[in-house]
Amino acid sequence: MTGPRIAAQAQRTIVIRVPLLLFGFFTLFPIYWLARSSFMTEGDLIAVPLRYLPLPFTLINYQEAFRQMNMTRVMLNSLIVAGALAC
């Protein structure tokens, strides 16, 4: 390959990959943030400076969700509906 062809190919690669990387970041970052927040205490969520990793890692939010919303029944209902639709 000659110099101009390599440069054109590199430019095409950059034009394709940069938007894909940005799209991936803006798509996946909210999912990461949601998961991160679910493992943090309420005080850690509003702490300054901002933490990007949940330290200490806690499952208290999940325990509260199961307790307050009767999540066992909700999950059973979902399983019944999914099983009925799969048949």
pLDDT in tens, 47-72: 889 888 888 889 999 888 888 888 88
Domain-wise residue ranges, the chain: 3-86
Q: For residue 83, is pLDDT > 90?
A: yes
- pTM score, whole prediction: 0.66
**Helices H / strands E in the chain, number of each:** 4, 0
Residues 6+ apart with CB under 8 A from 43: none
What are 12-40's pLDDT values in tens digits? 889 999 999 999 999 999 999 999 999 99
What mean pLDDT do residues 78-86 have? Answer: 94
